[in-house]
Amino acid sequence: MICRNRIWEELKQAKANIICIQKYTDKRRGYNRAYNGFVAITASAGALGTLLNDKVPFFTSMLIGFVSIIKSVLPNFVQGESELSSLDVLADFYNKYMNSLENIWYRLDHDIIDEKQAMDEFFKLKETECDKMSQMNRLVRNISRKFQKKIDDEAETYINRVYYEKSEEQQETNT
């Protein structure tokens, strides 16, 4: 039973990590698009504003400069694409990791392997994940409590829907 509980908890954590990375990168890329759009629109307004007033380019240049300084001072707002791409690679890892956990769960659940074999495979697989959490903690800069709760709820719902409800259905058909 300990083996199943460990795999169960690891499945929930892997799914939570996948959801977190997906939602976090979507949100950050949205900020990046908004920032780049603002700079492009402001620069265009400055260039075309010359037709209206000679001071428009000066003010738009000042605004772009101010926003660029804010970006430098508050790097949490606009995160670089290279870091977001690293998070995408991490999400790919967690998808493969979760698939491997599901494979162990399936084989254990159908008595293809025993608990000792499952735990051996589990710990071997877990070794591949050890350094990934520090990467994730470094790249995911800020998550609000509300956002974390939403992630946890979605992961719990997914795991229960996929595993728990199917286990209940199997038990009902067996009786």
Full-model pTM: 0.78
3-state DSSP call for residue 74?
coil
- Cβ atoms 43, 64 nearer than 8 A: yes
Selected residue with higher pLDDT from 88 and 51? 88
Q: What is the pLDDT of residue 75?
A: 65
Residue 170 pLDDT exceeds 70:
no
What average pLDDT does the chain have? 85
Q: How many CB atoms lie within 10 A of CB 68?
A: 13
Which of 93-97, 103-107, 154-158, 163-167 is predicted least confidently?
Answer: 163-167
Torsion of CA 162, 164, 169, 170, to 10 degrees: 100
pLDDT in tens, 18-41: 999 999 999 989 988 888 888 888
